[in-house]
Structure 1
Amino acid sequence: MIIRHTALLALALHLPLHAADTEDTPVQLTTVPGPFRPEAESLKKYQAPDWFRDAKFGIWSHWGPQSVPRAGDWYARNMYMDGSEQNKYHLAHYGHPSQFGYKDIIPLWKAEKFDPETLMSLYKQAGARYFVSMGVHHDNFDLWDSRYHEWNATKMGPHRDIVGDWRKAALKAGLRFGVSEHLGASYAWFTPSHGKDQKTGVPYDGADPKYASLYHRAHNQPYHDANTWYTTDKRYHQEWFNRVTDLLTRYQPDLLYTDGGIPFGNVGRTLVANFYNASIANHGGKLEAVYDHKDIGSGEFIREAGVQDVERGVMEGINPLPWQTDTSIGDWFYSEGYKYKTTTEVVHMLADIVSKNGNLLLNVVQYPDGSLPPEPMQFLKEMAAWMAVNSDAIYGTRPWKVFGEGPTKAASGHFKENTAYTPQDIRFTTKDGALYAITLGSPVKTVRIQSLGRKAGLEARPVKAVALLGDRTPLRWEQSDESLTIQLPATLPSAISSSFRISF
């Protein structure tokens, strides 16, 4: 267990051990003193820390008991959805959910090959500057030694503090550490477990009150629309506040990701304010905390109150505030036969995101035992090779006057990430007075950058020098009214993407 003497610790120790007595009993909220208060106008004074703005690339472990069936994301919910593919899979491999439910999947998650230090070394070599551990998914299973919840990884399944082990490995490797919580929506998300087989009328195991601590108490909360998944039941607001505060207290992350908007109004805003105030207290008056939330799903989205997260998608243009894409190299949880992203797709996505003032948080899929499938292993190797050459165009950079140029219009918004780029598509970043131009493909013979034509009017200073990262061969280039034209060497350092450093 990792606890330091902090304001959050004092807060956690004074929280009630049990949820409020009735649905309408007011939530007991303890606050951490500091400049942030749980009002929108106060939270809007937030500014993302430099470490996050410089890091650009993080890796996420979106992993837990739902990996066990090897059948993909949302298994704990969909196994109870009569006629769904995961329901059919469950019937074929485990039996009827009334007899073998999600509670029986959990003990099968052993994490017997989980080696966080070895994995963290691979992630660091691949270029990650921060790492995020799953804290709790919608399945209501805590991956730490939870003070408020018996269904946790130290008491069952792997019998191991997964979050704590990830944290130790991340800090040892010199990476910033974060956690994700998906708990707010769990109350409604898990409602199908309270149902019954539509043909036989046999109730599922979630309908049994003795398992209510996992599947939640019986309720009528709708679950068809994600925009209504945040319940009004204040007993659950209290539970969410207690458990997420416990997670923050024990592991002192620099980043907290919420899978949706800020949960439960003043309750969620109080937790965010506490997170920021504790960070300031723990870092000598400097705010180092990042809170990721989304403008989709339930909850409150306050753009300036944290870092906006875009799931499996990108922004259309340069966002004035730092933001983040979260996506996965495959399915969110391990899924047999799922098509993985190629390294080329990830690199092009990263360059596009960074050019628009964003970061990329990438889930690297793990087997149930904690080891990596061959596709993620190959990706990490290839990503490490690309970063070894091109990282100067990524880390510590800021957007230029335009994010890029080229014939391809990138899809933008949530769940739009499969843009196919060409070598003529270029993304720009800047650092230390230099401009970096990153090709989204492998160009042949020449690269033409129209944004640097003298008549383009984007850069008043004439080009002074051009260098190809990873190649010391002097380049021939010419700046005309129409473009900067660069003659390429016979071979390029990478077949995925090339980066040019342009000084003026």
Structure 2
Amino acid sequence: MTEANTAEEAQAQETAVHEGVHNYSSEDEWVKPDDPLLLERLEWFKDQKLGLMMHWGPYSQLGMVESWALSDGDADWARDCIDWGVEGEELKREYFDLNKTFNPIRFQPELWADLAAEGGFKYLTFTTKHHDGFCMWDTHTTDYRITGSDTPFHRHKYADICRHLFDAFRSRGLAISAYFSKADWHTPDYWAPGMERGEKMWRGPSYDPKEYPWLWEKFVNFTQEQMTELLTKYGRIDMLWLDAGWVNAERGQDIRLGEFVDKIRREHQPWLLSADRTVGGPYENVITPEQTLPERPLNVPWESCITMGTSFSFNYEDKYKSVRELVHLLVEIVAKGGNLALNVGPQPDGRLPRAAIERMKGLGAWLKINGDAIYGTRVCAPYASEDRKFRFTRKGDVVYAIRLYAEGETVERELALALPEGSFETAELLGGEGPLPLRRTESGITLTLPDSVRAGETPIALCVRLS
């Protein structure tokens, strides 16, 4: 999200956040890398299509939005669910003390990885640190960490959560994307005590880096040391997913990110993609819409991070999207050339919510039959039919026509298709038994569906392979 410099800008941003429609960089701000390996890795990324995102930390105990209640400048929307009679500094004290009760003893990284693999997910984006500064790995830069002595979980065999989670997911063939907030509201090098700006603290530093360059340099070193730990001690990391877009050189908050990423690529992980989200430029290799998606296909690498329920962090009363809604969302995103980073907020005890598990399994069951129309595909013009019933994807000369069905909608005996560009001789229903009867018409082709498809419950979506 963009830094607020005026009250009007702050209000506009708070409204945008509250409505769940977040800023993201445009195609024009994307810079194509020169490195052939990075170009290869971007094509790999575009093949993956479905990633699992997880926001998890001590805040899950409250069942409310992660971190944001700490920012006085974001209080209008971030504190609307706080009903226990605290505010301001007392709220911050209670929030920062949540590490002292965070004890997710039912955490099972192997089970999470199994569920992700079964659900058809291809990579994990995990919050190693959100804006509140709590570290979910065994960092040596701060005691405010999952392995710190104040956190009861530090005695557990899985205490170094990032290590065990990353290892488990990699062992199932899933890639790792490490979410890391460039802002840190816990360290005194960013929010320095006694240096608050005016009457309210905001999401940026509590001081002007130009006036206190020595303090800002301490924060830069602190931040780079944390990222170095993650990128040198935790195995292969495929992408560094950076949040807090207001921390950038143009805003006077230069953490020398380019210098850092170049060094990591040169000395440790040459394949590393970086997503310096909402900043644009050469280190935002992937554009990341949040809780929204583009109106049309984008010709650059992108992923929409969207919640399975209504909240990124665990919410006790959350309402989850149905499997049908999730499949349709995935198809829409893939047809527009993007990936879906589907967010699940783990519970404070270390389990995944039962509703989330059911959705993951349902998504995986559909992808097991229809994954050929999703994974490894590219944009096919037009990406959607005029009546919006079909979405199209392409692999080379093969086109996939995906018919989306609403709950209870009648499945037609014949599918009439105005064909995308290309000449097709055969049509095959994924999961079906052989070619479908095909009849040419003036506007395209008509396919006859087997009676077995029309019987029973309305399918979520049918995928036809055209070649």
Q: TM-score, normalised by structure 2?
A: 0.78
Q: CA RMSD in A?
A: 3.3
**3-state DSSP class of the match of 1:123?**
helix
Aligned sequence identity (%)? 25
**Equivalent-residue separation in structure 1 for 2:340 and 2:207 (angstroms):** 27
Number of residue pairs aligned between Structure 1 and Structure 2:
408
Q: How many angstroms apart in 2 are the aligned matches of 1:98 and 1:167?
A: 33
Aligned: 1:438 with 2:402: yes
1:401-440 aligned within 5 A: 401-408=381-388, 424=389, 426-440=390-404
Q: Which residue of the partner structure matches residue 292 of structure 1?
A: 275
Match of 1:186 in 2: 184
Q: Deviations over 1:196-248 (max 9, x none)?
A: xxxxxxxxxxxxxxx84796544345888879999743432332222222222
Are 2:437 and 1:488 equivalent residues in the alignment?
no
Check whether the contact 2:288–2:303 (CA below 8 A) recurs between aligned residues.
yes
1:127 to 120, 140, 147: 120
Q: 1:471-486 maps to which residues of 2 (within 5 A)?
A: 471-472=432-433, 474-486=435-447
1:262–1:301 CA contact under 8 A, matched in 2: no
Distance 2:40 2:203 in 1: 28
**Gap change, CA 1:84 and 1:476, over 3 Å in 2:** closer
Q: What's the offset of the Cα at 1:362?
A: 1.1
Any gaps of 5 or more consecutive residues in structure 2?
A: 1-29, 210-215
More deviation in 379-388 or 151-160? 151-160
* TM-superposed deviation, 1:262: 8.3
- Which letter does structure 2 place at the counterpart of 1:332? F
Name the residue aligned to 1:467. 428
Q: Deviations over 1:43-78 (max 9, x none)?
A: 565525143222111112211111011233446526
Q: Following the alignment from structure 1 to structure 2, what is the Cα–Cα distance between the partners of residues 61 and 261?
A: 19
Equivalent position of 2:260 in the other structure: 271
Amino acid at match of 2:276: H
Whether contact under 8 Å (1:134, 1:179) holds in the other structure is yes
Q: 2:358 corresponds to which letter in structure 1?
A: Q
In structure 2, the partner of 1:309 is 288
> Within 1, Cα distance between the matches of 2:365 and 2:463?
14
> Judging changes above 3 Å, is the alpha-carbon distance between structure 1 residues 278 and 261 closer, same or farther for their aligned structure 2 residues?
farther
TM-score, normalising length: structure 1: 0.72
Asked if 2 retains the 8 angstrom alpha-carbon contact of 1:130 and 1:178, the reply is yes
**Alpha-carbon distance change, 82 to 51 in structure 1, aligned in 2, over 3 angstroms:** closer
* Cα deviation digits, residues 405-447 of structure 1 (max 9, x gap): 2335xxxxxxxxxxxxxxx2x2211125211111222643232
* Residue of structure 1 equivalent to 2:172: 173
1:70 and 2:63 matched: yes
Q: 1:488 to 1:106 in 2, by over 3 A?
A: same
- Which 10-residue stretch deviates more, 432-441 or 443-452? 443-452
Rounded Cα–Cα distance in structure 1 between residues aligned with 2:446 and 2:83: 58
Match of 1:448 among 416, 422, 437: 416
1:239 is the counterpart of 2:215? no
47-56 vs 86-95, greater mean Cα deviation? 86-95
Q: Alpha-carbon deviations, 1:324-357, whole Å to 9, x = none?
A: 1111112111112122122222211211211222
Change (3 A) 1:307 1:98: closer
Q: Are the equivalent residues in 1 in contact too, given 2:183–2:190 (CA < 8 A)?
A: no
Structure 1 residues 174, 185: closer, same or farther in 2, change over 3 A? Answer: same
Measure how far apart 1:301 and its partner are: 1.4
Partner secondary structure for residue 361 of structure 1: strand
Which of 384, 400, 403 is residue 364 of structure 2 equivalent to? 384
> 1:233-287 CA distances to partner (integer Å, 9 max, x unpaired)?
34323322222222222223111111244843360122232343345xx5xxxx5
Alpha-carbon contact 2:71-2:201 (below 8 Å) kept:
no
The answer on whether the counterparts of 1:140 and 1:214 sit within 8 Å (CA) in structure 2 is no
- Asked if the contact 2:184–2:190 (Cα under 8 Å) also holds between the matched residues in 1, the reply is no
User: What SS is found at the alignment partner of 1:164?
Assistant: helix
State the alpha-carbon separation in 1 of the partners of residues 179 and 124 from structure 2. 11
Query: 1:434, 1:501 within 8 Å by CA — same for their partners in 2?
Result: yes
Pair 1:359-2:339 in alignment: yes
Cα deviation, residue 288, structure 1: 2.7
1:61 is aligned to 2:46: no
Structure 1 residues 380, 96: CA separation in 2 closer, same or farther (over 3 Å shift)?
same
